[in-house]
Amino acid sequence: MKKTLINLTLLAALSTSVFAQKPAGNLSPVDYINPLMGTQSKPDLSNGNTYPAIALPWGMNFWTPQTGKMGSGWQYTYDADKIRGFKQTHQPSPWMNDYGQFAIMPMTGHLNVSQDGRQSWFSHKTEIVKPYYYSVYLADHDVTTEITTTERTAQFRFTFPKSDSSFIVIDAFDKGSHIKIIPKENKIVGYSTKFASGPLKNFRNYFVIYVDKPFNLTRVYKDTVLAGDSLSVTTDHALAAIGFKTTKGEKVGMRVSSSFISLEQAELSLQREQGQDSFDVTKQKGRDTWNKTLSRVTVEGGNIDQIRTFYSCMYRMLFFPNKLYEIDKNNKIVHWSPYNGKTEPGYMFAGTGFWDTFRALYPFLNLVYPSINKEMQEGLINDYKEGGWLPEWSSPGYSDVMVGNNSASVVAEAYLKGLRGYDISTLYQALLHDANNEGPRAAGRRGVEYYNKLGYVPYNVKINENAARTLEYAYDDFAIYQLGKALHRPASETDVYKKRSMNYRNLFDPSTGLMRGKNEDGTFQSPFNPFKWGDAFTEGNSWHYTWSVFHDVQGLINLMGGKKQFVTKLDSVFSLPPTFDDSYYHFVIHEIREMQIAGMGQYAHGNQPIQHMIYLYNYAGEPWKTQYWARETMNKLYKATPDGYCGDEDNGQTSAWYVFSAMGFYPVCPASGQYVLGAPLFSKMTISLENGKKIVINAPKNSASNKYLNSLNYNGKVYDNTWLSHSALQQGAVLNFDMSATPNKQRGTKAEDVPYSLSTDK
């Protein structure tokens, strides 16, 4: 039933217990998104560490207003009050910083191209932020800037005042750049070579800019020093300015395109993606693309804040990894290779860390958008062929951060969940290669000789975060084992990885019931403080990493002495105080602070290692606790506001947790092919699969109080399992959840109801 906008206002005012109404009015999914969610962040406290990305899903180029100084990872922060430019960005996170960047800034009055000289006060009151469109009033210059984008190009529209001194500044940034003005064509070309994570060979981000108004003034600069009468400059930091007279309200349009390959390729993309489209046509096409992509998942019921949060999280999930590939004059897919510096055929993606995203982001792609993940898998083949390794963090090449060999999960899961039509044999060989070798810049496995010999990476051999590496390698070995079986590899080969996947047991300390670093001689490291962050673990402590046995939770239950002891340990995560030991870092890192202030004990949802832990109650016969804590976390730690996350959003992973949890299930073990049940957030959700089938999730009694699952009907039959099969869901499904205010402590408690564990695999 259609609602009016008045209904929406009323709906926003109602309590969270109202679930019966549909989100309506004339709003489309994209209208619910707040791209500023998570932007009120800083290095010592992250509420998301996001920026408003104006782009298309998985687009090659993003644009954002730049409030931070050149080179700052915090390129846009909500608390800032001045804009220095509008920046093309490929930044996956402030900690990774950026590459392929340059900025554009309009101004009036006295021409000053420096960052501080050209900046302007602005207010969020005059800011319009959509995924496909951005507008802001620059008070110092009396100019309104508008931006809209395609995958590789953008259009700007500047509304100037009456002025004899109106300008546009182009900043190609430092570390080596070039700019040339071509007045006869109203054109500026150039390139930037600035990147944060390398080394990169022959890296250039070429840009082409056309302005729809002739230039009365042309200047190029070396840093802020005017380069004489020249129209071209190549230097450490190249800038340019063009100027003209404008009348009050005059709109000046600009078309921008860039390429990692050449100026000619940038021109080609501009013509292909914009043609003669006006600003408003490009804007509408962008809106349509977002709505088409988002509409694969539709929600009904819930309150307006929940709907906004859901789609704002989906927006974040549809950016990274982003396309690094381009389409040449022969309509062939090509890319600049960050590994050899050459233009190569085929797909390439960049800007993601598998340590974060293997957990839920890639499972979401495999469920809802498998075709884009097929392109990503082909991109991984090219990573391996051109660089010799699979990336564990690409930004855009091999980045030396985080731990684990989680490319194994990303590769194995895609094939196990049905992706076909690419060279899986090469990818499988890449997994075997990387699992048995230590590569450059976090590729492969650091400490692999110890791991393969001892069954763990020792604490006392000067390899940091050793326990975390061991636990993640064990899961990665499981993923390789699963893929090897699916490819009908000989048992003599796959059994090696099956055996190694049990290596998690080597770090379990029976005296504490927790995972603990172990020395080369087989003794546990001592003294042991389970609240100590870092050291043997990665951005967490033993209370967070003990649960990192994704593939064999039953095995972990056995180690802890049974289900009762396991549940008690899970409960302790929430009941313990937020005690911490920061001595490894020598200061309170932001992840520690975010756990401390969340009010959920030792549960550190703002970082990835523990995010699956809530769903583990299902394995131990108390699934209602999963239902309670999942709803509690969604309600307490997420909101579509500038401070709306409880830690780093991290390339879609923290958002993916929310979206999956709102669906009512979560991929605890991506390579198992199962999802572990929670309880849905909305009264109805429809997932339209690429194969034409639909997953319909009905929970008509859902409310703030009715958070528990009383019973589940799956395609017309009573369903007592606490897991769902990916392959079965692909055939289409209708899931009818009967929700209740009190937990059903009988449903899903039998041994045959629980999700997959390797220990019980027959």
Predicted confidence band of residue 12 (pLDDT cuts 50, 70, 90): very low
pLDDT, tens digit, for every residue of 392-443? 999 999 999 999 999 999 999 999 999 999 999 999 999 999 999 999 999 9
Helix axes 5-13, 304-317, angle to 10 degrees: 100
Per-residue tokens: 246: 């404008």
pLDDT, tens digit, for every residue of 98-113? 999 999 999 999 999 9
What pLDDT score was predicted for residue 136? 98
Concatenated DSSP letters for 491-513?
A: HHHHHHHHHHTTGGGGGEETTTT
Q: Under DSSP, is residue 382 helix (H, G, I), strand (E, B) or coil?
A: helix
C-alpha distance from residue 298 to each of 182, 229, 291, 326, 684 (Å): 48, 58, 11, 31, 8
> Within 10 A of 490 (CB to CB), how many other CB atoms are there?
8
Whole-structure pTM value: 0.96
What pLDDT score was predicted for residue 431? 98
pLDDT surpassing 60 at residue 292: yes
Give the span between the Cα atoms of 299 and 32, in whole angstroms.
12
Peptide bond into 396 cis (omega under 30): yes
Predicted confidence band of residue 380 (pLDDT cuts 50, 70, 90): very high
Q: How much of the chain exceeds pLDDT 70, in percent? A: 97
What pLDDT score was predicted for residue 700? 98
Q: Under DSSP, is residue 194 helix (H, G, I), strand (E, B) or coil?
A: coil
pLDDT, tens digit, for every residue of 508-553? 999 999 999 999 999 999 999 999 999 999 999 999 999 999 999 9
Predicted confidence band of residue 205 (pLDDT cuts 50, 70, 90): very high
Concatenated DSSP letters for 569-582?
A: HHHHHHHS----B-
> Within 10 A of 526 (CB to CB), how many other CB atoms are there?
9
What pLDDT score was predicted for residue 762? 75
Average pLDDT, the chain: 96
Concatenated DSSP letters for 69-126?
A: PTT-S----TT--EE-EEEEE--SBTTTB-BS-EEEEEEESS---SHHHH-EE--GGG
What pLDDT score was predicted for residue 23? 47
What pLDDT score was predicted for residue 295? 98
Predicted confidence band of residue 617 (pLDDT cuts 50, 70, 90): very high
Q: How many residues does the chain have?
A: 762
Q: Decide: 54 and 132 in contact? Cβ < 8 Å.
A: yes
Give the span between the Cα atoms of 396 and 407, in whole angstroms.
15
**From the CA atom positions of the chain, what is the Rg in Å?**
26
What pLDDT score was predicted for residue 26? 73
Predicted confidence band of residue 660 (pLDDT cuts 50, 70, 90): very high
Q: Burial-class residue 150 by CB neighbours within 10 Å (0-12, 13-18, 19+).
A: buried
What pLDDT score was predicted for residue 25? 56
Q: Burial-class residue 113 by CB neighbours within 10 Å (0-12, 13-18, 19+).
A: buried
Average pLDDT over residues 235-246: 98
